[in-house]
Structure formats: structure tokens, C-alpha cells
Amino acid sequence: MKNLRILILTAEYPNPNSTFDTPVVHYYAKEWVKLGFDVRVMHYRSVFPRVFYFFANHCKQLLKRVFKTDFIPFERLNSSIQYELDGVKVVSRPIFKVFPHLKYWNATIKKHAQKICSENRTQEFTPDVILGHFLNPQLPLLYELKKFYPETITSLVLHENPTVIAGLFGSKAHLYLKSLDHIGFRFEEMKNIFIERFGRPANLFICPSGIPESYILPSIPAHKFKTEKISFCFVGMLIPLKNVDILLESLDLAFPDRNFNLKLVGTGMLRESIDKKIAELNLGECVSMEGKMSRDEVQRVISGADVFVMVSKPEAFGLVYVEAMGKGCLTIGTIGQGIDGIIRHGENGFLCEARNVSSLRDLLKDISAMTYEQKMSVASKGLDTASGLTDQKVALSYLRVIKAIND
């Protein structure tokens, strides 16, 4: 296995300026470093006109309600930072944009592509592989960089709905996509949407995430499915797309005798409204709000539960589903979202519609009525599935699929 030189372009990466950026791309990068590869990351942070931040800071709650998220930039960070994380060399760089959800100016993209090439020459770094994650600005950047590195393998993994590609890039969308050696998707439904819009090139692949091998138990814990009350847990941001209100309503209907308990792990903009919902449904004795926890702390909560449930939409993948399967939980995900395809309904877990109270209610009742042996069978197959999705295994598979390595 040759010493690959990998350049990653991404709009999301753990960095000192933000607590919101997902570490999903870093999970691949740090595994490649462990394999001895030279991995460089270019993390792009959108920077907007100063008036945007003035407006944002005066209308925080309105913006959160409109965009249904806590992830609103309220501070203009207009300087680059360099740092190293788990052996990965990272540059976190601002890139100017007029307004959120719009594309970047062509001149801006070309300037940044030239800057990357100039810095690579200075550092005597010629990438064998350039990997983009998230659509904007990575897609046009990859197109420009291919001009400088025509022999380098290029790949883009989409974490968003492919329907936005044409709207962002118009007539250039096909040109940009055609220049890529490989195009990845976080789950099968996303790939199918892409095919409907852009056809079926031969270079498409699915790019799942993995979890640390230490998070996967060697066998199902003895306490699972043996307590008098069935125990549930949820782990995620308390934001609209997570559909915690649907979970609470479904539990209320499925267990009128209140023969269950639920631990909600996470925090977010809906904390107060969820508290009110719990009170309205008289679930105070059954539901506990655990607040924000570290990833390692979450493992303890999941390990103590019989069932993990999160019917969020949209959800690009959701590593916590795999973590729950690795802890022997019966795991409920969402039909047509990232975990669909990893979870096979009724075999190694369960799938449900995102905002269908009656459907989730019925599923919860069905799970409760399963025999111990039936629950163990599904949980065991879920554990087997998680065992094949470790960080190292998916990182190696990623490189093999794009033909960066052969063994």
C-alpha cells in the first residue's frame, strides 16, 4: 500500500472557531493518518457581508425559527487558522459569500483553487487524491483543481439533497459533475434522487460512516430486554428535524399504562417546548432530560437502553444509530433517510416514517409484544451489522471504492 497523499476539501470540520461543525469527515481522515498516509484538510467557512451579522445578532430567535436550527453564524471570523488534529494537518479558511444558501462567485472559487495549488507547491505536496465533502464550494473547487491536477483522483461525497445542485450551479452543474472521477452519497435514496436528475454514470458509490471499534460490545448484555419496564433512549440535538414531539406522542399512545422509561440526551432550541410537551402528556415520571453529553458518555446511556429511537428527517446518516446497534439496542430509524439500507426492517432493526404518530405507535407496541428470543435475534443481527462499520473498515473501503488503493 503506497503512501497516499490525500487532500480533503470540506465545509464541515472540527475547528477551534465552532462547536457546531460535525466531525464526520475527521473520522475518515484520522484513520488514514493511522495507516501512514499524508492527509491535509482544507476547511472552508462561509463569511458574509458585515450587515448580515448585524442583522443576525439582532434577530437571533427569528432566524432560528425561520431556518429551524441553532446553527446560525453570529460572529464574523475573517482569518485563517492552522492546526493539527489527531495527526491531520488542517487549514480552516474563510470564503466570502453574499448570502447563505447561494453559490460562491466564480472569481472567488478560482482564487481559492489557485491558492491551494500555490501552497501545495511551496510545501512540495502533490495530492494523489482530492476528496470533497459537502456540495458548496467543494464541487466547483474540484472542477478547478482538476485543471491543475489532471492525473489526480477526484471525488465528491454529497451530504445534502442532490436536487439543489441544478439550482445552485445551473448550466454548469453537468460540467462540474462530469469532471469528477467518483461521486459518493451518504445513503441509497440520495443516490436514487441524483440518478433521476442527472442519469447514472458508472462512478457512483455509497459512503457510510463508522464508529470506534471500542464502542461495539462483544455480545448482547445480559440485562437487555429483561426489565419490567421497556427502556428507550434518544440522542440528538433538540431541533425540529429530530421529531422528538412525534416520539413523545407515540409513546403516550403506545403505553397508556406508562410501562416504559425514556432518556432524552441532547440540548437545543426546542428544550423548553419539549419540557412543556412532557408535562402536557403527563410523562414526567417516565421521561428524563439528560442534557448534553460527550460521545463517550452517550455510550453509557445507550448501553442501558433496550430500544434506541430517532425518527429524524432529513438525516444524512446518523452515527448514533450504529452506536446503538453496537450496544445491542433494538434500533429504530427513519424510512428513506441515511440509516435506511443499513437497517433492514424487522431483521437487524426497524424503520418508520418521520412524522407519523400512528405508525410509530404501532411499531413501539409491536416491539413491546415481541418475545425475548425475537428481540435477541434482531439485536444480535444489529450488533453484527455494527461490527462491519468500524472507523477503520469504512475508511479503507472508501479508498478502495474510489480506486485509491487496491488491497
More reliable by pLDDT, 332 or 268: 332
Share of the chain above pLDDT 70, in %: 91
Question: The domain that contains 205 carries what CATH number?
Answer: 3.40.50.2000
Check pLDDT > 70 for residue 53.
no
Neighbours of 307 (CB within 10 A): 25
- Cα distance between residue 339 and residue 311, in whole Å: 10
Residue 309's pLDDT is 98
* Contact call for residues 345 and 351 (beta carbons, < 8 A): yes
Grid look-up 433492514 returns 344
How does strand 153-158 pair with strand 129-133? parallel
Would you place residue 314 in the very low, low, confident or very high pLDDT band (cuts 50, 70, 90)?
A: confident
Residue 231, domain member (yes or no): yes
Residues 123-179: pLDDT tens digits?
Answer: 999 999 999 999 999 999 999 999 999 999 999 999 999 999 999 999 999 999 999
Q: Output 198-205 pairs: Cβ under 8 A, ≥24 positions apart.
A: 198/162, 198/165, 198/173, 198/174, 201/177, 205/401, 205/402
Q: Please indicate, yes or no, whether residues 41 and 85 belong to a single structural domain of this protein.
A: yes
The upper half-sphere exposure of residue 239, i.e. CA atoms within 13 Å in the direction of its Cβ, equals 17
Q: Please indicate, yes or no, whether residues 22 and 115 belong to a single structural domain of this protein.
A: yes
Mean pLDDT of 3-12: 95
Mean pLDDT of 364-376: 96
* Contact call for residues 9 and 131 (beta carbons, < 8 A): yes
Neighbours of 34 (CB within 10 A): 14
Q: Give residues with Cβ within 8 angstroms of 382, minimum separation 6.
A: 324, 325, 328, 329, 330, 331, 343, 348, 349
Residue 17's pLDDT is 76
Vertex 112 angle, CA 107 and 116, to 5°: 150
Check pLDDT > 60 for residue 203.
yes
Would you place residue 100 in the very low, low, confident or very high pLDDT band (cuts 50, 70, 90)?
A: confident
Q: Please indicate, yes or no, whether residues 196 and 284 belong to a single structural domain of this protein.
A: no
Mean pLDDT of 47-63: 63
Residue 205, domain member (yes or no): yes
Residue 105's pLDDT is 92
Q: Please indicate, yes or no, whether residues 167 and 195 belong to a single structural domain of this protein.
A: yes
Q: Please indicate, yes or no, whether residues 133 and 269 belong to a single structural domain of this protein.
A: no
Q: How many domains does the chain have?
A: 2
In which domain, by residue range, is 145 found?
5-210+391-401
Residue 228, domain member (yes or no): yes
Would you place residue 99 in the very low, low, confident or very high pLDDT band (cuts 50, 70, 90)?
A: confident
Neighbours of 31 (CB within 10 A): 22
Query: What element of type H or E holds 326?
Result: helix 319-326
Residue 29, domain member (yes or no): yes
Would you place residue 381 in the very low, low, confident or very high pLDDT band (cuts 50, 70, 90)?
A: very high
Q: Give residues with Cβ within 8 angstroms of 89, minimum separation 6.
A: 39, 40, 41, 82
Q: Please indicate, yes or no, whether residues 190 and 230 belong to a single structural domain of this protein.
A: no
Residue 16's pLDDT is 85
Q: Please indicate, yes or no, whether residues 266 and 196 belong to a single structural domain of this protein.
A: no
Residue 406, domain member (yes or no): no
- Cα distance between residue 172 and residue 135, in whole Å: 14
- Cα distance between residue 70 and residue 60, in whole Å: 9
Residue 48, amino acid: F
Residue 200's pLDDT is 87
Residues 65-91: pLDDT tens digits?
Answer: 655 555 555 565 678 999 999 999 999
Q: Please indicate, yes or no, whether residues 310 and 363 belong to a single structural domain of this protein.
A: yes
Q: Please indicate, yes or no, whether residues 176 and 285 belong to a single structural domain of this protein.
A: no
Mean model confidence pLDDT for the chain: 91
Q: Give residues with Cβ within 8 angstroms of 135, minimum separation 6.
A: 156, 158, 159, 160, 164, 165, 168
Residue 66's pLDDT is 56
Residue 139, domain member (yes or no): yes
Cis peptide before 314 (omega within 30 of 0): yes
Residue 383's pLDDT is 98
Vertex 339 angle, CA 334 and 344, to 5°: 85
CA–CA distances in Å: residue 93 to residues 23, 115, 116, 331: 17, 11, 11, 38
Residue 325, domain member (yes or no): yes
Residue 407, domain member (yes or no): no
Q: Please indicate, yes or no, whether residues 74 and 203 belong to a single structural domain of this protein.
A: yes
- Cα distance between residue 232 and residue 301, in whole Å: 10
Phi and psi angles of residue 232, each rounded to the nearest 5 degrees, phi first? -115, 155
Share of the chain above pLDDT 90, in %: 78
More reliable by pLDDT, 244 or 314: 244
Would you place residue 46 in the very low, low, confident or very high pLDDT band (cuts 50, 70, 90)?
A: confident
Mean pLDDT of 300-315: 94
Q: Please indicate, yes or no, whether residues 62 and 153 belong to a single structural domain of this protein.
A: yes
Query: What element of type H or E holds 343?
Result: none
Q: Please indicate, yes or no, whether residues 184 and 325 belong to a single structural domain of this protein.
A: no
- Cα distance between residue 365 and residue 393, in whole Å: 36
Rounded (to 5) percent helix, strand, coil in the chain: 40, 20, 40
Would you place residue 63 in the very low, low, confident or very high pLDDT band (cuts 50, 70, 90)?
A: low
Would you place residue 282 in the very low, low, confident or very high pLDDT band (cuts 50, 70, 90)?
A: very high
Residue 170's pLDDT is 93
Q: Which of 30, 32, 25, 29 is nearest to 3 (CA)?
A: 32
Check pLDDT > 60 for residue 389.
yes
Cα-Cα-Cα-Cα torsion 14, 19, 20, 26, nearest 10 degrees, comes to 20
Residue 371's pLDDT is 96
Check pLDDT > 90 for residue 300.
yes
